[in-house]
Structure formats: structure tokens, C-alpha cells
Amino acid sequence: MRHVHSPHSTRSNLIRCSVLLLTSLLAANVSGQLASSYQQPVGAADNSNKHIAAGYRALFTCSATFHGNRELEQILEVELHDTKPLGLPAPVIDHQRRRVSASDGNGDVRTAVYRPNMGCTLLPGDIPAGDAVFLPSLATMPTPEPVAELPTNIDPRFDNVLDAAFTSERFGSGSVTSAVIVIRGSSIVAERYGNGFSRETAYRTWSTAKSITAAMIGIAEAEGLLDLDEPAAIPEFASPGDPRANITWRHLLTMSSGLYSQGANTSAVYFGGQDAISSATSGHLEAEPGSRWKYANNDTLLLLRGLRHVLNDDEAYLRFAYESLLHPIGMHRTVMETDHAGNLIGSSQVYTTPRDLARFGLLLLNDGVWEGQQILPSDWIDTVTTPAPAKPQIDGQQGYGGQFWLLNSFEGIPADTYTTAGNKGQLVTVIPSEDLVIVRTGVNPNGIRWNQVELVRAVLEAQTYAAKQ
């Protein structure tokens, strides 16, 4: 079991390791004594609001520049494409201080700051940019051990699938694909990248991050830190008589908390500078926990709120994903971004590469085992692919498990097929019966959807053709 330090040892470790954690800021923010200048009930906000749009532009430009190694010209055309109609000034990049500022055109300037191992964080309006040194940091985290590249055995019989993914409308009119990787067994058999992207180009996972969060929760359960069927450890729900105290970890995992939310909308957290805790804990109970399925980012954020509480050690919390999941399987180009109060925004804000996502897919394909080491609990894949009780499966529609989507109700799709799913088409699909992992990443404009079911069908056709040769 992971050793959880006492508060005293935590402070000693922070000093000894020179980890810059503004503990007083974190504590005040968690208790609600210090609110960011922009807060909305349950974190919902309008993306057309110029305050939100400026935060979007600052954060995306920061992550794409300092972690994705992209140029501003392409960032303006790709990441910031959806904000073009607002006519906002171009973001200003400060390479020396590794920060980006973006104006809303009305005198409000939003700033995002990059820190090693943690990516970018958007500052709220009440923390001056000059004070960003006090943001949580993992600058001293040990460098992970080198790992071998994934084996590659390119099979040209998948070329037609790649051609269609990048050059046709078969999988979604108007979609823009940045990468496709197909893994059969343990080898990459197909791989291609779009213009301006490569195997080293990191991009936001959007809601594929939720599946990474689910893996973290599985590891935490295996370490005895939680029990899925016990109430989730949310301090804000602990007041006597609060009905939210009956929400379990499993309810949150399966998007069945019963909490009020404005759907998946948490733009005030993602781009407004609101902290994740004030967003996720502000919803009232409107349905009995476990009785209703409703896709909501706040359920995922509450999983991480609970994890932070049971670890009782902010440094251990920030290191948890790296030490227990990402680095052991070689996901070295992946960063878990946080809000200004050190809360992981694991519902969307993870930056990674297609090759790292392929590693995650391989871990899932192999029932949580990586090079002989059991990273995820042996029964965890069954847990997250079991249909959520509050969301019965319907033929021809995606089902839902535990922070994963189920594709097994579509004609021609194997019954064990499941997938991550992120906005703009960030997808890691696993088909154990066919020994396949399919990674697709994209930068689809708003309103454009990628047809992952059709891609899976195309890969299966190519797989069948290859098997006959």
C-alpha cells in the first residue's frame, strides 16, 4: 500500500524537495475563503463569453507552445480556430518566463503559466501573474527511467484505412485528423500523422482524460485507499444531514451521482479560472444516487477531490498518476494539468501524445499488466466496462461503463469493444477479442463529430483481409 505521510512529514518533504506549494492558498481555496474572481454555479459558463474565450486562448496557447512545441501560427489555426469569430487579439507568448497572456478585447487579460511536469495552469483574476511562482509545482520529480519504443511492424494492408482517415469524409465530414495508430498484438501495424503533427506532438486529451482518471481510481482501490461501494470521501459533503454524503465512488465512476449539473459544462473551471472544488461540490442532489445516469465533468472532478482527501498529502496527490500509472508504462510525454489550487483537472486537461495513448491502450488490452507488472487491478477492466446500472444498453447507441464508453451495441462491432472519448475526436478504442487497439486524435472544429464506430469497422475489415493473406 502507498505510504501516506502525515501533514508534518509532508511539510518536511516539500521543503527538502524544494516543491513550491502555496499551502495556505490551497487550504483557503478548499474552504471557500478565497474565491477566484470568476465563479459560476457548478462551474458552467458560456464559451462565447469573451472572458472565457480569452482564458481558452491563453491556456491552449500555453500548453501547445511549451508542452506541444507548436508555433503560434499553427496554434491560431488549430487550437484557437473556434474562437476566431470573436475577433480577439493574438495571444502574447513570454518564452523567457514561460507564460501566455490573452486579451478579451475589453481590457481583461488572462494569463496561463507553464511549470515542468505539470503543464499549464490558468490564473484566476485575483492572483497577479507575477505571483505565479507560488503555484503548486513538481519541478523536482525524478526523471523516469528510459523505456524502449513500441515495436513496429507496419502492415500496408491498413493503408486504405489511413487514407480514409485523413483524406475522405467516410468518418466525419469536416473532421481534421492529427493521428491514427493501430496496434495488433503488441506491435504498431499502422501509423500516420497530419500536417504539423508527429509522434512527439502533445495535444489535449479532452475527456479521454476521464479514462486515465478511472485508472488512477482503480490503482487507489487496489492500494486500499478506497472502496468503490463506500461513500466517496468528499469533505464538503460531510455535514450532518447532507444527502450527498450517500454518493459512493462507484456512483461517481459511472456518472450516476444524482447531482445537479448543466450537463458536461465546466468551462468556468477549464477556461475561467474557477477552482475545481468550488465547481464540483456546489451542485445539489436532484436524484437519488445511482438512480439516474447523467454525463457530467463534475463527477470526474469529485473522484479526484476524494482521492486528494484520502491521500492527505498534496505532493503525493500530484505525483500519484506519474508514479503509479504514467511512468511505469512509459507515458513520459504526458502531463496532468491542474487549476491554480493544485486540483487535477482530470476530466479533460491532460496533454499527451498519440504514442503515449497507444501505451495506455496496450495496458488496457493486456488487462492492466505491463511487462509482467500488474499496474491496474486484475478485475478493473471488467469494472469499467460493465454497463452503468442507470444507463441500460440500447442497440445502435453507445453504452457507458466507468469513465469509458461501450461500443458493443453496434452491428459488426465485437461485444467486448470499449473506448475512451474526448472532444474533437480523442479516442483510444480497445477490442480484446481481436487483439486490437485503435488510437485516433483530432482537432475537429466545433460541431464536427468523428465516427469512431465506422473507423472500427474499417480496421476490422482490414484485419480480416490481412488474416486471409
Residue 234 has pLDDT above 80, yes or no: yes
Give yes or no for a contact between 81 and 73, defined as CB atoms under 8 angstroms apart: no
Cα–Cα distance, 98 to 432 (Å, whole number): 42
Q: What is the pLDDT of residue 34?
A: 36
Contacts for 368-375 with beta carbons within 8 Å, 24 or more apart? 368/218, 370/328, 370/329, 373/328, 375/219, 375/324, 375/325, 375/328, 375/329
Q: Which residues contact 33 (CB under 8 A, 6 or more apart)?
A: none
Q: How does DSSP classify residue 355?
A: H
What confidence tens digit (pLDDT) does each residue in 123-168 have? 987 565 555 556 767 767 778 888 899 999 999 999 999 999 999 8
Each domain of the chain, given as residue ranges in start order, spans 227-299
What confidence tens digit (pLDDT) does each residue in 410-449 have? 999 999 999 999 999 999 999 999 999 999 999 999 999 9
Q: What is the pLDDT of residue 143?
A: 80
Comparing CA positions, the residue from 260, 458, 295 lying closest to residue 390 is 295
403 C-beta neighbours (distance < 10 Å), count: 28
Phi, psi (deg, nearest 5) at residue 408: -90, 10
Can you name the residues that pair with 188 across neighbouring β-strands?
152, 183
Q: Which three cell numbers stand for residue 159?
A: 493503408
Cα 58 to the center of its chain, rounded Å = 19
Query: Burial code of 178-193, b = ≥16 C-beta within 10 A, e = fewer?
Result: bbbbbbbeeebbbbbb
The amino acid present at 460, given as its one-letter code, is L
What confidence tens digit (pLDDT) does each residue in 319-366 have? 999 999 999 999 999 999 999 999 999 999 999 999 999 999 999 999
Comparing CA positions, the residue from 26, 50, 55, 73 lying closest to residue 113 is 55
Q: What is the dihedral of CA 254, 256, 257, 258, to 10 degrees?
A: 170
Give yes or no for a contact between 259 and 296, defined as CB atoms under 8 angstroms apart: yes
Task: Give me the mean pLDDT over the 383-388 stretch.
Answer: 98
Cα–Cα distance, 264 to 421 (Å, whole number): 13
Q: Which residues contact 173 (CB under 8 A, 6 or more apart)?
A: 448
Confidence band for 11, pLDDT divided at 50, 70 and 90: very low
What confidence tens digit (pLDDT) does each residue in 27-49 have? 333 333 333 467 899 999 999 99
